[in-house]
Structure 1
Amino acid sequence: MDKTMKFIQEKLTPVANFFGQQRHFAALQKGIMTTISFILVSAIFMIVANPPVTPDLVAQGGFWSIFSGWLNFATTYKTIILVPFNMTMGMISVIAAFSIAYHLSNSYKMSALNNGLTALILFFIAAAPANYYKLADKTTVSAIDMTYLGSAGLFTAILVSIISVEITRFCQRKNITIKMPDGIPPFLSEMFASLIPLAINIFVFFGGNIIISSFNPSLSIPSLIETILRIPIAGVDSVPGALFVCFFILACWCVGVHGMMVTMPLTTPISIAAFASNAALFANGQDPIFHPIFMTLAIAFVGGTGNTLPLVVLCLRAKSKQLKVFGKAAIVPSIFRISEPVIFGAPIMFNPILMIPFIVGGMFSAIAFWLACTWGALTSPYLLISGTFPIFINDFLKALDYRYLIFLIFLIVVLFFIWYPFFVIYDKQLLEKEKEIKMKEAAKV
């Protein structure tokens, strides 16, 4: 363990320092971490809207009947309960577009508010332009498509925020702005100075969407990005293919792309067919068989995508205040397999130290699940269960096999060892930064 930690510290710390000091990556991390409070609040409403039972379980009576009131309430008012979720997690890319541009422009000593608002508007133009729709009663409404306003549009938000700030900065450096005479109030000067850069930015992103849609009306900037990213993962119905999909999903999250959303059009039909096939086998008294696509389930067994619950538990004993506070805030969402607070809040995204255990732990889980099922240690899944069911219950319900509980305990133990050395190094880095900040504050006093 000491050798491993020494290797991590010697090889990864310089990379982590580069990511932390390079202004674009620093802005990304700060911008993404700005979203964490919205994500944590949204997780509460998601949990309330998805009780840890199914109607069939409640109908059986016994222990599960204690959830009947919660299930009835959630079923009746689900659309209302999810309104705060839709306006927080469902708008997370909008928040990120503003905050990333805000922090990046701040590092350039530019107007952070103007550039943040510019990026926000440009993101709407690129990802969710308002259109007019005719309803069945012949009336016309103006509406936007929210598909890419949530985490599915995060990569687009990153690109828009960085590119828009750089275009504005280029215009300012080259004096491609409207200059007002002396004596004009500063806010008016800033407003007129931003007009030409704003027009150029709109031309780039609005024009980009028009050019893309002229070739294919169904595509836009974010959907084109998704289409391009899907090309490498065409063969998902084999063990190597499924393993590559698992790696692809995890790697995408590390750079701000919602891996599940990218792969879903390819993996969902295969997953549904695999569950249906196994359900038919089980109904006929035969053993379900393992389909390679089931490996994508295992990367989210323990705490959501990347199996991040062990990291959150470790954070509860962290020496740095940042990780200790984060651990307390993220523990409940992690138990309910909601990993966005960890990916955005630790953060794992654009963090070279935590990226490695995130990917390695996920891949280990996928391979271990494949081996356990093919060797007969676990029953292959045959019940398609969706929702934010907590760990243990979620995976037990997919096969009604108590051995899943043992397998998950084994997985958690192994994942603790995978996460631990990286957690220690990262915690130490944050602690040193916190000490430096205290010393600087003390010096000012």
Structure 2
Amino acid sequence: MNSNTLLEKLDKILSPIGVKVGNQRHLKAISSGMMMTLPLIVVGSLFLIVANPPVNPELVDPSTANIFMKFMLSWKEFAVNNYQTLTTPYNLTMGIVGMMSAFAIAYCLAGEYKMKSAMSGLIATAMFLMICAPSIDGAISTSYLGADGLFVAIIIGLVTVEITRFVEIRGWQLKFPDTVPPAVTAFVNSLLPLLLNIIVLYGLNILVITNTGVGVPETITKILTPALSIVDNIWGYIAIITFSNVLWILGVNGTSIIFPIVFALGIQNTGLNAELVAQGQDPTIAMNLQMFRYAIMGGAGNTIGLTLLMMRSKSTHLKSLGRLGIVPGICGINEPIIFGAPIVFNPILAIPFIVTPIVTVGLGYLVQVMGFVTPGYMVDPSFTPFFAQAYLSAMDFRNVLFVFALVLIGTVIYYPFFKVYEKNMLAQENGSNSQSIA
């Protein structure tokens, strides 16, 4: 089967699904709403990179370092001493993406229904803060304001609009004479929808707290968090990585849910490899921290290959997004791609998003067991370019060559699905241009 035949078959199967999903108003609102937050996500991600320079001071001797390494050490020292200041742009952009998404999704869905978009967005924001960031002693928790609260934000953004629409459809609104200012009319008629939203959604949150001791966001996290015992073997590890990526497709930050499990396991086994090296032996434990790095090259779903394809896309949207996302992607930050393409609720790109990490993790395990690369025995810095992480994990250039091979493999996996999606995007862009000209 040649590539053209494969693309035609994929196009025939996936394009109708993509069109149907793309035109469904709720999914369209999720996609459009997340796109509204994209500039903030991109800029915030850049500041996270600035605050985490790719150098490990423990591996560099300042007395023998060259000018470049001395600069890197100075940058690292500055970043450590001013970490909170440097990460403030990240914390107040990506760190509140859940809250912003609640507003944006409700705004877009209300627009689909020809309702008052701004008021719908404000109601969704208020409900999100009540449920995900309640005030305690004058302070609010920020734990679920960001990507960890995104799933709840999506639900709130959609449900609040539907509740408001329920009120409007039944005509439960007051009509005033034309002499009454529109602002007063809008104010009065927003009271009942807001009250009903509080009764339904916040009432549900209170009910959950009463029965479980924690709110809706914490309850969802507990339900989704799997057990540690299954991940210390390749099949369990692949299962939990796949579970994480399925959650991402649904708008849930799957990486944050599995991170404590896979990172704890990775640190533990990397430490055991380090003990072997200290004793003059070769590291032998394959389930080390590098397995997690193989799973998230370019970010969740191994999207570095997709980003490279997007950079050369014929679609203006995809090309612009690829060029914006390549630097954060090299450092493992791919929220701009996940929410911007988008991959969330995208049946076409969801397939390689799930499949690619399965392949890269499986290959990563095999090459370590077979001795083609050195198993990781050092904990490399987070948010470091993927090729630098590969080298720092075992000080072996074979590891670097291997991760570049994984990028190539990931690009090949994404390619046919990307071409189908690109075709759909081009059709949408050409349709928009035609309407603008008309």
TM value normalised by structure 2: 0.94
Number of matched pairs: 432
Q: Which of the residues 26, 30, 33 maps onto 1:31?
A: 33
Extract unaligned runs of 5+ from structure 2.
none
Query: 1-side partners of 2:175 and 2:61: how far apart?
Result: 72
Cα distance in 2 between the residues matched to 1:57 and 1:388: 17
Tell whether the 8 Å contact from 1:234 to 1:266 is kept in structure 2 after alignment: no
- What residue number does 1:54 align with? 56
Q: 1:425 aligns with which of 410, 416, 420?
A: 420
Give the match's secondary structure for 2:224.
helix
Identity of aligned residues (%): 37
1:342 Cα shift? Answer: 0.9
Runs of 4+ in 1 over 6 A off after TM superposition: none
Quote how far apart the aligned CAs of 1:15 are. Answer: 0.8
**Alignment match of 2:124 (pick from 113, 119, 124):** 119
Deviation, structure 1 residue 417:
1.1
1:78 equivalenced with 2:80 (yes/no): no
User: Unpaired runs of 5+ in structure 1?
Assistant: 133-141
Letter in 1 for 2:134: P
Aligned to 1:138: none
Matches within 5 A, 1:238-257: 238-257=233-252
Q: Residues 331-346 of structure 1: matches in 2 within 5 Å?
A: 331-346=326-341
Q: Whole-Å Cα distance in 2 between the matches of residues 267 and 347 of structure 1?
A: 26
Q: CA-to-partner distance for each residue in 1:171-200, whole Å, 9 max, x for gaps?
A: 211233444455422222222112111111
Distance 2:175 2:273 in 1: 69
1:414 to 406, 409, 419: 409
Deviation of the 1:120 alpha carbon: 0.6
TM-aligned CA deviation for residue 288 of structure 1? 2.2
Instruction: State whether residues 178 and 195 of structure 1, in contact with CA within 8 Å, keep that contact through their aligned partners in structure 2.
Output: no
Aligned residue number for residue 137 of structure 1: none
Which amino acid counterpart does residue 423 of structure 1 have in structure 2? F
Q: 2:228 & 2:77 partners in 1: Cα distance?
A: 40
Corresponding residue of 1:380:
375
Report how far residue 352 of structure 1 moved.
1.3
1:437 partnered with 2:428: no
**Deviation by residue 1:207-242 (Cα, 9 ceiling, x = unmatched):** 22222222333x211111111112588622222211
Contact persistence 1:127–1:148 (CA under 8 A): yes
**Residue 194 of structure 1 aligns to a residue in which SS?**
helix
Residue 397 (structure 1) aligned with residue 392 (structure 2): yes
Q: In the alignment, what sits opposite 1:68? A: 73
For the residues of structure 1 that align with 2:73 and 2:254, how far apart are their CA atoms?
34
Partner amino acid, structure 1, of 2:72 = F
Of residues 165, 169, 173 in structure 2, which corresponds to 1:173?
A: 169
Contact 2:54 2:384 in 1 (8 A): yes
1:132-167: per-residue Cα shift (whole Å, max 9, x none)? 1xxxxxxxxx11100011111100100111111111
Matched AA of 1:73 = F
Distance 1:160 1:376, change over 3 A: same
Q: 1:230 matched to which residue of 2?
A: 225
Alignment correspondent of 1:143: 139
Range that drifts further, 287-296 or 196-205:
287-296
Please report the RMSD computed on the Cα atoms of aligned residues, expressed in angstroms: 1.8
* 1:229-272 Cα deviation digits (max 9, x unpaired): 12588622222211100101111111110011112343343333
Give the counterpart letter for 1:369 in structure 2: G
Contact 2:205–2:215 (8 Å) recurs in 1: yes
Q: Which among 199, 202, 205 is matched to residue 206 of structure 1?
A: 202
Matches within 5 A, 1:155-194: 155-181=151-177, 183-194=179-190
Distance 1:333 1:325 in 2: 14
TM-score, normalisation: structure 1:
0.93
For residues 287 and 77 of structure 2, the distance between their equivalents in structure 1, rounded to whole angstroms, comes to 36
